[in-house]
Amino acid sequence: MQSSLLCFLFITFVSFVSCSITLFELSVKVTNAISENVANVNEFTKVTDTDNSKQKLLLLLKLDGIAVEIDEIIGQIQRIDKDKDLNIISRLLKKLAMNNKWHSTLKDIRMIQTYLNDYYKEMKKYIRDADEYNSTVLVDFADKVASGSKNSVPSLLNLLFEKVLGKDFLENLLKYLKPNGICYCQEKQSTAEILHTFMNEIQTTSIKSFVSIYAAYMIKHIYSDKGNFTKAMLNASDNFQRRTNNLISTLKTHMATASLEVRRCDLLPNHIYGETYLEIKNFLHGIIINKVNLDPNGSCKKECNAYSYTKHYNCGSNEWCRKEAMCSKVIGCQYVDSSMEVCPSKMHKTSRRYEYVKLGNGRVLGKEKPCDTDITSLETYRNWVFWKCSYCFCLCDEGRKFYTQNHINMRPVESNIHRNMVVTGLRFIEHNHIIHLQIQEGKLLPNGQIDLNSVQWLAPEDYDITQRNYVNGKDYHTLSWEKRSLQLVDIMAKQGNIVTGVGFVLDKFRNHLRLQVFTRPFNFTTGEVTKTSKAVVEASYEVGPQLKLDAVDIPTNAIFPSNQFETNKFVKFTNSDFEKDAGQSTVPFLDALPVESANPVPLSGVGIFHKGRLGFGGFIAPRIFTYNFTNHLESVFF
Ligand SMILES: *[C@@H]1O[C@H](CO)[C@@H](O)[C@H](O)[C@H]1NC(C)=O
Ligand SMILES: *[C@@H]1O[C@H](CO)[C@@H](O)[C@H](O)[C@H]1NC(C)=O
Ligand SMILES: *[C@@H]1O[C@H](CO)[C@@H](O)[C@H](O)[C@H]1NC(C)=O
Ligand SMILES: *[C@@H]1O[C@H](CO)[C@@H](O)[C@H](O)[C@H]1NC(C)=O
Ligand SMILES: *[C@@H]1O[C@H](CO)[C@@H](O)[C@H](O)[C@H]1NC(C)=O
Ligand SMILES: *[C@@H]1O[C@H](CO)[C@@H](O)[C@H](O)[C@H]1NC(C)=O
């Protein structure tokens, strides 16, 4: 089989396959091979039955050769997730617990598909081992296949296409599979990719059935004396071409509206730090400080809420203050109660100051649980007889300590374009307490294909913030109370370009981190990425409104999956709710799940969005947009 040759012979239609041959190219190939056979058939018409039994067998073996080739190519094309059920329709049926008209149509489609594929299998058996059967058996089978009866292949095939291309069927498929549609999370593919896979499966069945019909006529022609069946064969070929063209034009129509988005769905309830999510740590913490330590003059004259933006001054003789790590930026203090019991956290240097705080009035800040450190009781005391020195509950911007994890990488990352690599996936990772948006790269091949063996995650740059040649504000950004905004935006490459990198820059006017996407022109036919000039930088300079996260709990406490998705806004990293979490965490968290297509594809865009539920801080997550193949779908037969 010359599949490598085939790879370069037909470049009309693109699919997500390793070799460039696609089902629609295969369709052309099959039709050509078969019309060659039709020509040969006619040479046999004059020869008498007994003389050419060997030649008859040879003819059938040629058909078998075509079938073997078809099977091999189809095997290559359907390589998505080998461990999974290959058939997308049966996967959908298994996962969809529905009972409606659409679902029953899907079931019918699957059933017809199974019948047709079985006919094909049986046909292969007869043509391969034709010498083991007498002509009666062969012709009987051929009659069953090609007769006009309800269960014959042509009738079933017509019915299949009627259902697939019929009113509403594909609209519903797209509806259920669109992002936020009920089936979207089952497949790690964009709606456009799934649609394409579905159509490929239908076309696979169509090719196989065409071969079955054709082989049936061939058998009838050489083993019966009922004529040469040339007309019927050509008719079958015409029908096949017409169906293929219809399928492509329908595909094209729907592909234009199908979403390209691939994002990950929540893996409830298995939140695992570092694996499924990340956090900004030691950035903002609820902190308890006595008024006396907040006042430059060491006085208790003012109320807590007078201290909206100050710092820890001299601890004096306040024992509590001396035990606490000093805070250089104290924000938004408020009075909570005259007495409280504090359970300091063991993870003081890694994530929180307190596990919980129980107030004298019974209210608990955070979640009360057995305290494995010493509980400290704090009480308002009197200073100068009449000033009450109460403990305030404030927010601490921990600043830049060696144990903080509030840095975001700003060094741009680009795929290795010298090896023709492009971006195929994204995820947030943490390295040396710095959050990186990591890229997955894969080698671009002709026709928008990615070399599966080349796909890899690019290691983040290995540096930490103590290294002098890496500068805050240039190489990375350390979040601070004043500069803690992140833009939530989708950025698309312009047509003819492909995503090769990502990065963040700090917008100095708005004090927010802006997503940048690097793209490069490429030649679709050759798969060559333009290497010479610098990458094109795409970004959005528009600022949407702020996504408000007020008094929210940490997202990992949510027991239901995210149902709110936000983009075209900006979000400020902020503290978790005082009541729910003693303000000890920074929200939103970051989703750490890798975002990649089940079948790696080049990207037409990249986004950062927020997902969550009311009352919870949610996650910031990346998403990708698969390459838009719409413009490369062409009719293969004219
Ligand atoms: C052909 O084979 C079938 C099954 O093996 C048998 O029943 C039938 O009699 C055979 N017919 C002829 C004409 O040999
Ligand atoms: C096939 O049969 C038809 C009708 O019997 C005849 O007109 C035609 O010439 C035949 N075709 C070939 C190629 O022999
Ligand atoms: C050709 O195919 C069409 C569609 O299946 C069918 O209606 C028609 O009867 C066929 N014509 C011949 C001559 O077989
Ligand atoms: C894909 O490309 C087609 C043709 O240019 C366009 O109409 C369609 O809107 C694009 N799809 C998306 C999701 O951008
Ligand atoms: C501190 O004391 C000085 C002198 O008594 C006074 O001028 C100043 O306003 C006080 N500062 C504050 C912040 O209360
Ligand atoms: C892509 O490359 C092919 C082969 O080198 C060339 O014929 C074609 O013009 C190129 N297309 C574009 C858009 O540059």
My answer on whether omega of the bond before 545 falls inside 30° of 0, hence cis, is: no
Least confident of 144-158, 179-193, 600-614, 620-634: 179-193
DSSP state of 349: G
Q: Which of 44-58, 96-110, 249-263, 613-627 has the highest mean pLDDT?
A: 613-627
Residues in the chain: 638
Question: Residue 10 — very low, low, confident or very high, per pLDDT cuts 50/70/90?
Answer: very low
CA distances from 120 to 115, 211, 416 (A): 9, 8, 45
Give the model's pLDDT for residue 385: 67
Least confident of 306-310, 323-327, 571-575: 323-327
Question: 568: exposed, middle or buried (C-beta count within 10 Å: 0-12, 13-18, 19+)?
Answer: middle
Does ligand 3 have an atom closer than 6 angstroms to the CB of 231? yes
330 and 294 Cβ atoms separated by less than 8 Å: yes
CA nearest ligand 2 atom 14, residue: 42
Does ligand 3 have an atom closer than 6 angstroms to the CB of 286? no
CA nearest ligand 2 atom 2, residue: 228
Does ligand 1 have an atom closer than 6 angstroms to the CB of 134? yes
Least confident of 11-25, 51-65, 81-95, 398-412: 11-25
Give the model's pLDDT for residue 41: 62
Place of tokens 């890798």: 594
Give the model's pLDDT for residue 28: 81
Give the model's pLDDT for residue 52: 63
Give the model's pLDDT for residue 54: 74
Question: Residue 24 — very low, low, confident or very high, per pLDDT cuts 50/70/90?
Answer: confident
CA torsion through residues 584, 590, 592, 593, sign: positive
Mean pLDDT of 184-193: 84
Cα(526) to centroid(ligand 6), Å = 7
Does ligand 3 have an atom closer than 6 angstroms to the CB of 299? no
Specify the pTM: 0.85
Does ligand 3 have an atom closer than 6 angstroms to the CB of 242? no
Cα(425) to centroid(ligand 4), Å = 21
Does ligand 2 have an atom closer than 6 angstroms to the CB of 230? yes
* Nearest of 554, 597, 549 to residue 572 by alpha carbon: 549
Measured from the alpha carbon of residue 296, the closest ligand is 5
Measured from the alpha carbon of residue 260, the closest ligand is 4
Does ligand 4 have an atom closer than 6 angstroms to the CB of 260? yes
Distance from chain centroid for Cα 449: 17
Give the model's pLDDT for residue 213: 94
What would you report as the CA-atom Rg of the chain, rounded to the nearest whole angstrom? 33
Mean pLDDT of 609-632: 94
Give the model's pLDDT for residue 30: 79
The atom number, within ligand 3, closest to the CA of 232 reads 14
Does ligand 6 have an atom closer than 6 angstroms to the CB of 373? no
| Residue 413 predicted with pLDDT over 90 | yes
Q: What is the pLDDT of residues 353-371, one digit of tens each?
A: 999 999 999 999 999 999 9
Measured from the alpha carbon of residue 45, the closest ligand is 2
Question: Residue 22 — very low, low, confident or very high, per pLDDT cuts 50/70/90?
Answer: low
Selected residue with higher pLDDT from 553 and 31:
553
Give the model's pLDDT for residue 45: 52
Cα(250) to centroid(ligand 3), Å = 23
For the chain, give the percent of residues with pLDDT over 90: 58
Does ligand 2 have an atom closer than 6 angstroms to the CB of 563? no
Does ligand 2 have an atom closer than 6 angstroms to the CB of 114? no
Least confident of 37-46, 513-522, 612-621, 624-633: 37-46
Place of tokens 């308002």: 380
Mean pLDDT of 96-117: 87
Least confident of 75-84, 173-182, 304-313, 328-337: 75-84
Mean pLDDT of 372-377: 92
CA nearest ligand 3 atom 14, residue: 232
Q: Which of 53, 137, 140 to mutate to test the pocket of ligand 1 (most atoms within 8 A of CB)?
A: 137
Mean pLDDT of 277-281: 95
Give the model's pLDDT for residue 79: 55
Q: Considering the chain, what is the average pLDDT of its residues?
A: 87
Q: What are phi and psi of 552, to 5 degrees?
A: -105, 155
| Residue 605 predicted with pLDDT over 90 | yes
Cα(297) to centroid(ligand 5), Å = 6
Measured from the alpha carbon of residue 258, the closest ligand is 4
Question: Residue 14 — very low, low, confident or very high, per pLDDT cuts 50/70/90?
Answer: very low
Orientation angle between helical segments 135-146 and 153-165, nearest 10 degrees: 30
Cα(259) to centroid(ligand 5), Å = 62
604 and 260 Cβ atoms separated by less than 8 Å: yes
Least confident of 10-24, 132-146, 623-637: 10-24
Place of tokens 């929180």: 352
Mean pLDDT of 387-411: 91
| Residue 49 predicted with pLDDT over 80 | no
Give the model's pLDDT for residue 234: 87
Q: What is the pLDDT of residues 421-464, one digit of tens each?
A: 999 999 999 999 999 999 999 999 988 889 989 999 999 999 99
CA–CA gap between residue 288 and residue 302 (Å, rounded):
16
Cα(11) to centroid(ligand 6), Å = 13
Give the model's pLDDT for residue 40: 65
CA–CA gap between residue 64 and residue 69 (Å, rounded):
9
The atom number, within ligand 2, closest to the CA of 231 reads 1
The atom number, within ligand 6, closest to the CA of 524 reads 1
Give the model's pLDDT for residue 199: 87
Residue 217 amino acid letter? Y
Give the model's pLDDT for residue 240: 92
| Residue 183 predicted with pLDDT over 90 | no
Measured from the alpha carbon of residue 11, the closest ligand is 6
Does ligand 6 have an atom closer than 6 angstroms to the CB of 350? no
Task: Name residues contacting ligand 5 (CB within 6 A).
Answer: 296-297
Give the model's pLDDT for residue 19: 42
Does ligand 1 have an atom closer than 6 angstroms to the CB of 137? yes
CA nearest ligand 5 atom 2, residue: 297
* Nearest of 279, 280, 300, 281 to residue 289 by alpha carbon: 300
Give the model's pLDDT for residue 378: 95
CA nearest ligand 5 atom 10, residue: 297
Distance from chain centroid for Cα 461: 24
Q: Which of 8-22, 227-241, 485-499 has the highest mean pLDDT?
A: 485-499
Does ligand 6 have an atom closer than 6 angstroms to the CB of 526? yes
Mean pLDDT of 219-224: 85
Pairs from 223-232 (Cβ < 8 Å, separation ≥ 24): 223/56, 223/135, 223/138, 223/139, 223/142, 224/135, 224/139, 228/41, 228/42, 228/45, 230/38, 230/41, 230/42, 232/146
Mean pLDDT of 288-293: 94
Q: Which of 134, 135, 139 to mutate to test the pocket of ligand 1 (most atoms within 8 A of CB)?
A: 134
First to last CA, the chain: 27
Cα(229) to centroid(ligand 3), Å = 12
Give the model's pLDDT for residue 12: 28
Give the model's pLDDT for residue 16: 33
CA distances from 45 to 64, 211, 229 (A): 21, 21, 11
| Residue 381 predicted with pLDDT over 70 | yes
* Nearest of 140, 294, 106 to residue 216 by alpha carbon: 140
∠ CA(516), CA(522), CA(523), 5° rounding? Answer: 165
Cα(133) to centroid(ligand 1), Å = 8
